[in-house]
Structure 1
Amino acid sequence: MVTFTTYQRVPCVFFFFFPFLCFHTLFSLAATTVRIRQGDVIRDTKGETLVSDNFNFVMGFFSLDNSSSRYVGIWYYNVPGPAFIWIANRDKPINDTRGSVTVGVDGNLVVLDGTRNPVWSSNISSLHGNGSEAVLHDDGNLVLSSGNKVVWQSFENPTDTYVPGMKVPVGVSMGKSYVFTSWKSERDPSKGNYTMGVDPEGLPQILVWEGGRRRWRSGYWDGRIFQGVYMTGNYLYGFTLNSDGKGGRYFTYNPLNGTDKVRFQVGWDGYEREFRWNEAEKHWSEVQKGPYNECEVYNKCGGFAVCDGLDLSVCSCIRGFEPKKREEWDKGDWSGGCKRMTPLKDERNSTSSVGTEEVSVGEDGFLDHRCMKLPDYAHLVSSMNDCEGECLNNAYCTAYAYVIGIGCMVWYGELVDIQHFEKGGNTLHIRVAHSDLGSGRKKNRIVIITAVVAGLLCLGIFLWLVWRFKGKLQVLPTVSSSSCCKKSDVLPVFDASKSRDMSAEFSGSADLSLEGNQLNGPEFPVFNFSCISIATNNFSEENKLGQGGFGPVYKGKLPSGEQIAVKRLSRRSGQGLEEFKNEMMLIAKLQHRNLVRIMGCSIQGEEKLLVYEYMPNRSLDCFLFDPIKQTQLDWTRRSEIIEGIARGLLYLHRDSRLRIIHRDLKASNILLDENMNPKISDFGLARIFGGNQNEANTNRVVGTYGYMSPEYAMEGLFSVKSDVYSFGVLLLEILSGRRNTSFRHSDDSSLIGYAWHLWNEKRAMELIDPCIRDSSPTTKALRCIHIGMLCVQDSAAHRPNMSAVVLMLESEATTLPMPTQPLITSMRRSEDREFHMDGLDVSNDLTVTMVVGR
């Protein structure tokens, strides 16, 4: 009975309140509108607002800290603690709640106070008052139209905030100059002391002014990022410089994730900030700030001086310069800057008299300063090949720099606002007098002398140890550093018993003879360990090129001047003599223009070294994932790299003497020679797992997360199709300029998932790196993406082999089958569980992630 009675009462209660609910709903709908026409009024007393179509933004009245002053502004809809992106009457607040917004009889949008007097107006004089209406768009832009023609918009009349969708002109190319003006204080939105905008005169860069004085600058735009922001990453990343088709240019901004709420603001305290809305924590996160530190304050150290936040002295004069006012400088007042120690050649007579003898003046030169924020007031010159000559030929030129994406930049007169970065930045070439060119070397004399003495001591200790243990070692005659690396007279020092075993185990073309001093003749020399040590400056950190899974790699230089790369195999890597012998035999036999060539090896006790040809441009990832160097890889270059990798991999799989499965193909294992030609490295390391590598199962997984095929990562099964999968991932990375693992915290769990979604939605061109998208041939780009999707299919049987891949890349006549959706795009999410697999010997810092169905 109780249950029945309660059930009977529910409809009664509902119908009792139904009229009230209907009235409340109608009132709520009446309180908001999507457009304002002539005669329409938004009243503060009724809490009425103007909203965008999809409820992204809202315009209405507001006050700050319970103040009686009322303003009309635009803010994000349903975001706690409103962030105001635009304010109409910022300098003329209304003192009560009787204000209103309407379209006046003259067609202008106006804000009226309680006595119907205007406190703000769009103030367009050419309107005739017929058919005007105001609409708030979903990007936050308030637009006034008359006769289907836009006559005014808030994006062209900003206050203190920039949001995606705004077009900011560069210079006065669009006939306007949009400047963002800060609030007067944290709770007073009237115009303050700071403004922000694009440099109206020089090369494009963002500036913050205090009054008419520069306070901060972003550095120059290189087509990808602003060069002067130290921690680039995603900071100030996403801007694009566009052309309006009429000779004008303007900046726009698009966040990497289109759903992100992002805004840039010049604060009342003079700082430029980038904010992103954190939906999980419900607050605005500050992700970038300028000035970030004291060195980013404009011209902190004065002319011809460098600011370094990591240096205790903060400010220092450029080499060849000294403080103008030494006393003030020593007290920490660096504003006076520095002056030249020696005038340039053109600043004095071509000869100077010393008694009765004339002494000629040497030619000016340049000192290189790396990792620098380039000085302000740069000039762009047309020279593409001889930037240095352009500067030398102008008596007023004081420095030059060549920046990818910008070109040849020169500076005249005093150099201001220079900063040294720990990493990144550009190389600045500063002009100094001939006599000052060696000043940098003089400062290093003590260091050089100390190094020489230390080297002699180490050599003495080494010779003593050789003499001390001569009964246990087979010692060769000492070889001088000038001739120790000749191929004809070197032999590694190693245990005699081991050498006999090793000599017996090598056979045929890979015979190691103790008398011959070589592996299989002169084409495969064995270097003396001490010679390689000298060539690499005793494996110094300065010579270190990188850290691989089997040990570090160092740059070296032979006495002949030839540069080499030396892999010093780690004793803790688990790689023993068997593995090393195997790698020597394999790589010595494999020769291809897209494979790195091995020049020799060295063995001394447990020390095992491989000597490779040196690749001056290092590895592909150094360019592909660097926001600055990335611009050097245009569409043509990327296509050539993709095809070169494919041909090299095909050689390993089909055309080499032994079928080789790489198992760790990735961007860091693709090296680039001086002509940016790709060469695959580390292709012999996995050979130790046995057989001729047609197909196998292993309990030791060698590879890198994100590049391994599902059957290899989960079951230990590998085949040539495992390399095809890795190639597909690498191909998608080259096209997009993004790492496969950069999607771990996004809706798409990987680059593969992201690519599939774009492919499936017919938006595949959005995958192409933005810096080459406009210049990429659409048909070829889509074909490459198609091939990549075929290579990363879950089933190895569905993937093409490398011969088919090469044919697809080189012949557009080949018909491509349709790929299937990779399973990882539908199964892996942020809640996936990670398991460390017991019993697996995992190399290269690998974490194996198991996919668990839900």
Structure 2
Amino acid sequence: MDILSSTLMLAYILSSSSLAIEIDSIAESQYLTDNMTLVSQNETFVLGFFSLGDSPKRYLGIWYKKIPVQTVVWVANRDKAINGTSGKLILNSTGNLVLKENETIIWNTTIQKQARNPVLELLDSGNLVVRNGGDPNPEDYLWQSFDHPCDTQLQGMKIGRDLKNGLEWRLTPWKSLDDPSAGDFSYGFLLSDYPDLSVMKGTKKQLLIGPWNGIYFSSIPGTTLDLLHEIDYVANEDEIFFTFRPNIEAVLTRLVINQSSRIVVHYVWEDTLQIWKQFGFISLDVCTYGVCGPYGYCSVADTNNVCQCLEGFTPKSPQSWSSSNWTQGCVRNEPLSCNNVTTTDRFVNYTGLKVPDTQYTKVDKNISLDECKHLCLKNCSCMAYTNSNISGNGSGCVMWFGDLIDLKKFQENGQNLYIRMSGSNSVLQHGHKMQVIIAATIAATFGMLLLCLIYRVRSNTDEKSNSEEYVEGYVTDSDLPLFDLLTITTATDNFSLCNKIGQGGFGPVYRGKLPGGQEIAVKRLSHGSDQGITECITEVRLIAKLQQRNLVKLLGCCIQGQEKLLVYEYMVNGSLDNFIFDRTKGELLGWSQRFLIIYGVARGLSYLHHDSRLRIIHRDLKASNILLDENLNPKISDFGIAKAFGGDQTHGNTRRVIGT
């Protein structure tokens, strides 16, 4: 056994944490051959030689130590494999790592700093570093693997640019599961005054995830990453980057870029299932870069109208637009009046957007939004502005010059963008007219509400209907919250068709938002239907007190006159059938995610059949009754025709065909 191997084994026996390999100052270089396979390890990671599948090709890489399925997070020689077990890792006296196959150099580092007694160390973070032995600043590395990422971002690893030293921290995917060489895509920042996090295909923009706005990257409001981590974003003269650090210390998590449509995936290790669970992802959907052209916005939610023009704009080529070729974009209905001397132009606030491509932007972090507006108005090339940081009450200024490209529209969240329009534009005139209409509407509405209130007070003094008393008795016994009808009608905008998200056998389902901001789904049972009353009672009686993560939660109900309303937690991804029977959406569900959905449904059924206080048979289990939350976790819904049995009952009879 060579000197380095002996030192390595002794160091591992003496220390269970990070492992250092020190170079004998007398020797020109020390090395470890591939005969041992394992080079170094700590409590979390392993550095060693490995193969993929049945291939004889060998790579030097880092993977998780305690995870049974080998998960490689970094590969030194990803573009040039070693044939067989003739690999040899050398740490020479200059502090450089050299990987050889016999006497041929396969891979090496190039250190610019002066090395003194160099030490190779695998840190608990998964970072492989070379540092000077005895250096009072142990983090002053001569070289580190975190500066040369592959397809995986680990906690504490930077994605961005080192402007001082000319490094780019950018992820690139493996070409395939058995080929770690760099694929076509890459994930990192595009430099500008307001840097865009992006996915590139070669040198072409494929997807702009957006700039950091102080809370999130503009294209992904409410990202799942911030549930488990804090995101740190830094932009100064020396570097631009973001990292993430865990809120939960023990969690194992990683971001991976792939060659598939689900391009960037956030994985979390599920220890009980012994699998990597997809906790969130960024996909290459229909809203690829610039698909809607200038001043057109893309909306994933509306598959029939993927691209639409901003209000006040029309398609530049109506013929191309009607044939789903939107790249020419939109033009203003009325031209701007700016001539660098005088202008009647104004700015219109467009809400709920991902901001456009930031290539031609200018940022001033020290001025207010009002100052930003006046500065933009003076420059005829300035087409839009907004706060550079939207946290708190907003701060700073970012201005766009030239056409606005790559806008996206969100159903909720998103940012404000103030876009330059002609002062005589109908959008502005419409705004003035709307103020008059709104004032008149408020007065009329107030009168109607007053009449309704008087009627309601009188109605409440009347004797309740038999059906209302019948249902309310079950609600009282279940301790389920009772909602006021006015609260539900306000939350759903008076059961607006715009808020209708489904239609069941017992009535429509609406999306709503309570005064505190909580989103809800409201099932409105058909008026005067005995079936509706039966379903309402069944739902309340069976699931009001059930607590299991794979059962949809019933938040409360409203029983008032002819109205019988059930209020549930809102599932942002709708029902499973919308995914598996839709070719486009179906591509978003990989086999691992499908397995997790199946497993979740099975866990919910197991609870109903064996672990709840009553044995409950659903009797209408189908894809449309499996709802998916924001993380695609499944929840069984619609217990209207479910049947309960005693805890020791194993058989039951039915006199009619029912359900699915």
Q: Same fold (TM over 0.5)?
A: yes
Q: CA–CA distance in 2 between the matches of 1:193 and 1:495? A: 68
Structure 2: gaps spanning 5 or more residues: 1-8, 24-28, 136-140, 463-480, 495-513, 520-544, 548-610, 615-660
- Within a 5 Å distance, the mapping from 1:14-413 to structure 2 comes to 34-38=19-23, 40-52=30-42, 54=43, 56-113=44-101, 115-127=102-114, 131-149=117-135, 150-169=141-160, 172=163, 176-234=167-225, 238-241=229-232, 250-269=241-260, 271-291=263-283, 293-295=285-287, 297-311=288-302, 312-346=304-338, 363-377=344-358, 378-381=361-364, 382-386=366-370, 387-402=372-387, 404-405=390-391, 407=395, 408-413=397-402
Q: CA–CA distance in 2 between the matches of 1:215 and 1:494? A: 57
Alpha carbons of 1:126 and 1:221: their partners in 2 closer, same or farther (altered >3 Å)?
closer
Alpha carbons of 1:493 and 1:328: their partners in 2 closer, same or farther (altered >3 Å)?
closer
Q: CA–CA distance in 2 between the matches of 1:103 and 1:432? A: 63
Does the 8 Å CA contact 1:36/1:102 hold for their aligned counterparts? Answer: no
Q: CA–CA distance in 1 between the matches of 2:205 and 2:190? A: 10
CA deviations on 1:439-486 (whole Å, 9 max, x unpaired) are: 8959x99xx9xxx9xx9xxxxxxxxxxxxxxxxxxxxxxxx9599599
User: CA shift at 1:190, angstroms?
Assistant: 1.6
Does the 8 Å CA contact 2:352/2:413 hold for their aligned counterparts? Answer: yes
Q: CA–CA distance in 2 between the matches of 1:278 and 1:494? A: 52
User: CA shift at 1:251, angstroms?
Assistant: 2.5
CA deviations on 1:576-600 (whole Å, 9 max, x unpaired) are: xxxxxxxxxxxxxxxxxxxxxxxxx
Report the secondary structure of 1:265's partner residue.
strand
Instruction: Determine which structure has more spread, i.e. the larger CA radius of gyration.
Output: 1
How many pairs were matched up? 455
Q: CA–CA distance in 2 between the matches of 1:493 and 1:835? A: 43
Does the 8 Å CA contact 1:398/1:431 hold for their aligned counterparts? Answer: yes
Does the 8 Å CA contact 1:224/1:237 hold for their aligned counterparts? Answer: no
Q: CA–CA distance in 1 between the matches of 2:546 and 2:214? A: 32
User: CA shift at 1:90, angstroms?
Assistant: 1.2
Q: CA–CA distance in 1 between the matches of 2:336 and 2:293? A: 20
User: CA shift at 1:74, angstroms?
Assistant: 0.5
User: CA shift at 1:40, angstroms?
Assistant: 4.6
User: CA shift at 1:192, angstroms?
Assistant: 2.2
Does the 8 Å CA contact 1:365/1:432 hold for their aligned counterparts? Answer: yes
User: CA shift at 1:93, angstroms?
Assistant: 0.9
Report the secondary structure of 1:180's partner residue.
coil
Q: CA–CA distance in 2 between the matches of 1:327 and 1:236? A: 45
Report the secondary structure of 2:301's partner residue.
coil
User: CA shift at 1:182, angstroms?
Assistant: 2.4
After superposition, the CA RMSD in angstroms is 4.6
Does the 8 Å CA contact 1:181/1:191 hold for their aligned counterparts? Answer: yes
Q: CA–CA distance in 2 between the matches of 1:327 and 1:86? A: 49
CA deviations on 1:42-97 (whole Å, 9 max, x unpaired) are: 32223333102x2x000111122211211101011121332221111112211111
User: CA shift at 1:159, angstroms?
Assistant: 1.6
Structure 1: gaps spanning 5 or more residues: 1-24, 351-361, 456-479, 501-546, 557-564, 569-617, 627-703, 707-832, 837-854
Partner of 1:424: 413
Q: CA–CA distance in 2 between the matches of 1:414 and 1:373? A: 15
Alpha carbons of 1:69 and 1:495: their partners in 2 closer, same or farther (altered >3 Å)?
closer
Q: CA–CA distance in 2 between the matches of 1:119 and 1:334? A: 48
TM-score by length of 1: 0.47
Alpha carbons of 1:137 and 1:331: their partners in 2 closer, same or farther (altered >3 Å)?
same
CA deviations on 1:603-629 (whole Å, 9 max, x unpaired) are: xxxxxxxxxxxxxxx96x55xx99xxx
- Within a 5 Å distance, the mapping from 1:440-451 to structure 2 comes to 441=430
User: CA shift at 1:321, angstroms?
Assistant: 2.0
Alpha carbons of 1:292 and 1:413: their partners in 2 closer, same or farther (altered >3 Å)?
same
* Aligned-pair identity (%): 28
Q: Does residue 437 of the first structure (1) align with residue 426 of the second (2)?
A: yes
Report the secondary structure of 2:184's partner residue.
strand
Alpha carbons of 1:335 and 1:154: their partners in 2 closer, same or farther (altered >3 Å)?
same
Partner of 2:580: none
Q: Give the counterpart letter for 1:417 in structure 2.
A: D
Does the 8 Å CA contact 1:111/1:118 hold for their aligned counterparts? Answer: yes
User: CA shift at 1:118, angstroms?
Assistant: 2.0
User: CA shift at 1:419, angstroms?
Assistant: 0.8
Q: CA–CA distance in 2 between the matches of 1:75 and 1:486? A: 65
Which has a greater percent of strand? Answer: 2
User: CA shift at 1:307, angstroms?
Assistant: 0.6
Does the 8 Å CA contact 2:230/2:247 hold for their aligned counterparts? Answer: no
Report the secondary structure of 2:375's partner residue.
helix
Does the 8 Å CA contact 2:340/2:378 hold for their aligned counterparts? Answer: no
Report the secondary structure of 2:320's partner residue.
helix
Q: CA–CA distance in 2 between the matches of 1:105 and 1:498? A: 90
Q: CA–CA distance in 1 between the matches of 2:317 and 2:236? A: 51
User: CA shift at 1:496, angstroms?
Assistant: 9.0
Alpha carbons of 1:349 and 1:62: their partners in 2 closer, same or farther (altered >3 Å)?
same
Report the secondary structure of 1:254's partner residue.
strand
Report the secondary structure of 1:275's partner residue.
strand
Does the 8 Å CA contact 1:218/1:228 hold for their aligned counterparts? Answer: yes
TM-score by length of 2: 0.59
- Within a 5 Å distance, the mapping from 1:579-658 to structure 2 comes to 622=517
Partner of 2:600: none
Which has a greater percent of helix? Answer: 1
Partner of 1:783: none
Partner of 2:477: none
Q: CA–CA distance in 2 between the matches of 1:91 and 1:490? A: 73
Report the secondary structure of 1:389's partner residue.
helix
User: CA shift at 1:291, angstroms?
Assistant: 2.7
